[in-house]
């Protein structure tokens, strides 16, 4: 009886060991992805980002060399899409409905300028989550939803640049960045319920008006929680500030051109009559 019991225990122990080994092997295989390349001069690199996505698998990383890509991209896999430089790696949508359409969870997109589309990045489906859209520039890109992301150790975590309007930046966690959220010449955006911590400037607006900054938690900013320069009017309300060097700072407004005064009008008319008088005498 004892021998049977020992044999049974050994059998179950070996079975559990085999199952565990198989399970961890499967996980190890799953997190190992291949590297694919777009652009550049090496043999075998793709010329289009979408072609690389179509030929990728979950957990692959697609590296994109710097140039302008005129594409509309659909991402339906859990991949990393990495641009070589956000200033030179440009995805241009040519005023299409969307530039990047995300139809998957666990998608990471970093290092691009995303421009000239009605929607820069569009995520469809309530079950898609844990996507990280970081260190990109949204330029001439409207109606984006940037939600539930974590940004850290970036120069500028979220950048809306040049007519990037009507975007919602909601419930993101931004820590240890030089600038958490940066807007330049962008209008009617809503920055709502984000946690911005330990940045040099939490929210930075330049030449941007009619934006709403509300219900954010901004703490431990080395300079300013919110910095507005040449940006009036904007609405900021119900934000919680803590341990910032300065909570809100407003910079200089652009110089206003004054209408010509009465003195200037007299001078102009005097010169006109002098010239006219000289012409008559001649």
Same domain, 12 and 44: no
Same domain, 229 and 249: yes
Same domain, 23 and 56: no
Same domain, 65 and 190: yes
Same domain, 182 and 240: yes
DSSP 95-143: EEEEEEEE-SSS-EEES-EEEEEEEEEEE--TT----EEESEEEEEE-S
Q: What pLDDT shows up at residue 36?
A: 96
Same domain, 3 and 69: no
Q: What pLDDT shows up at residue 139?
A: 75
Same domain, 159 and 56: yes
Number of domains in the chain: 2
Q: What pLDDT shows up at residue 238?
A: 96
Same domain, 17 and 148: no
Q: What is the dihedral of CA 251, 257, 259, 263, to 10 degrees?
A: 100
Same domain, 73 and 99: yes
Q: Is 263 part of a structural domain of the chain?
A: no
Q: Is 223 part of a structural domain of the chain?
A: yes
The tens-digit pLDDT sequence of the chain (282 residues) is 545 544 554 444 444 444 443 333 333 334 568 999 999 888 889 999 999 999 999 999 999 999 999 999 999 999 999 999 988 999 998 877 788 888 888 888 988 888 877 777 776 554 666 677 777 777 777 777 787 777 777 777 788 888 888 888 998 888 888 999 999 999 999 999 999 999 999 999 999 999 999 999 999 999 999 999 999 899 999 999 999 999 999 977 654 444 455 455 656 666 666 666 566 666
Give the separation between CA 84 and CA 111, rounded to whole angstroms: 6
Same domain, 113 and 21: no
Q: What pLDDT shows up at residue 29?
A: 36
Q: Give the domain extent around 28.
A: 1-32
Contacts of 69 (CB under 8 A, 6+ apart): 38, 39, 48, 49, 89, 90, 91, 92
Same domain, 214 and 251: yes
From first CA to last CA, the distance across the chain in angstroms is 137
Same domain, 10 and 65: no
Q: Is 161 part of a structural domain of the chain?
A: yes
């Amino acid at each position: 009886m004892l021998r049977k019991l020992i044999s049974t225990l050994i059998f179950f122990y070996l079975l559990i060991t085999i199952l565990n080994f198989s399970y961890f092997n499967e996980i190890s295989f799953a997190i190992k992805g291949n590297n694919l390349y777009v652009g550049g001069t090496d043999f075998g690199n793709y010329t289009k980002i979408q072609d690389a996505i179509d030929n990728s698998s979950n957990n692959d990383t697609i590296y994109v060399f710097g140039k302008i890509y005129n594409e509309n991209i659909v991402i339906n896999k859990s991949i990393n899409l990495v641009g070589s430089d956000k200033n030179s790696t440009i995805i241009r949508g040519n005023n299409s409905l969307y530039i990047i359409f995300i139809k998957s969870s666990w998608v990471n997109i970093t290092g691009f300028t995303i421009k000239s589309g009605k929607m820069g990045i569009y995520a469809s489906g309530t079950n898609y989550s844990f996507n990280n859209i970081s260190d990109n520039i949204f330029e001439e890109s409207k109606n984006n939803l940037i939600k539930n992301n974590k940004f850290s150790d970036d120069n500028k975590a979220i950048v809306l640049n040049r007519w990037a309007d009507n975007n919602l930046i909601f419930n993101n966690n931004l820590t240890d960045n030089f600038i958490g959220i940066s807007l330049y010449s962008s209008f009617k955006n809503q920055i709502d319920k984000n946690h911005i911590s330990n940045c040099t400037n939490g929210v930075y607006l330049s030449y941007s008006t009619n934006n709403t900054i509300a219900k954010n938690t901004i703490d431990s900013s080395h300079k300013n929680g919110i910095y507005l320069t040449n940006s009036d009017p904007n609405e900021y309300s119900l934000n919680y500030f803590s341990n910032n060097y300065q909570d809100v700072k407003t910079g200089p407004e652009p110089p206003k051109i004054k209408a010509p005064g009465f003195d200037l009008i007299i001078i102009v008319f005097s010169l006109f009559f002098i010239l006219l008088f000289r012409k008559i005498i001649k």
